[in-house]
Amino acid sequence: MPHLIEAAGWPSILLVIASIVGLAIIFERLLALRASRVLPPGLLNDVLAGVRDQGVSPQLIEKVEMGSSLGRILAAGLRNERNSREAMKESIEEAGRAVLVDLERSLSTLGTIASISPLLGLFGTVVGMIMLFGSQNPAGASPAELAQGISVALYNTAFGLVVAVPSMIFYRLFRSRIDRLVAEMEQQAIKLVEVLHGERLP
Residue 201 domain flag: no
Q: Is the pLDDT of residue 73 over 80?
A: yes
Nearest of 92, 85, 86, 91 to residue 197 by alpha carbon: 85
Domain range for 159 is: 2-196
CA–CA gap between residue 90 and residue 189 (Å, rounded): 11
CA–CA gap between residue 200 and residue 169 (Å, rounded): 40
Dihedral sign from CA coordinates of 98, 72, 103, 186: negative
Average pLDDT in the chain: 83
CA dihedral 81, 84, 89, 90 (to 10 degrees): -110
Query: What total of structural domains would you count in the chain?
Result: 1
Nearest of 92, 101, 116 to residue 21 by alpha carbon: 116
Residue 128 domain flag: yes
* Cβ atoms of residues 148 and 33 within 8 Å: no
pLDDT tens per residue across span 118-164:
998 888 888 777 776 765 455 555 666 666 667 777 888 888 899 99
Residue 67 domain flag: yes
pLDDT tens per residue across span 16-72:
899 999 999 999 999 999 988 899 888 888 888 888 888 888 888 888 888 789 999
pLDDT tens per residue across span 80-99:
888 788 888 889 999 999 99
Residue 202 domain flag: no
Ramachandran class of 169: left when φ > 0, alpha when ψ lies in -120 to 50, beta otherwise: alpha
Confidence (pTM): 0.81
What is the pLDDT averaged over residues 102-110?
A: 93
CA–CA gap between residue 72 and residue 65 (Å, rounded): 5
Q: What's the angle, vertex CA 93, arms to CA 92 and CA 94, rounded to 5? A: 90
pLDDT tens per residue across span 186-195:
999 888 888 8
Distances in whole angstroms, Cα of residue 182 to Cα of each of 16, 21, 169: 34, 26, 20
Nearest of 116, 107, 130 to residue 159 by alpha carbon: 116
Q: What percent of the chain has pLDDT over 90?
A: 36
pLDDT tens per residue across span 168-186:
999 999 999 999 999 999 9
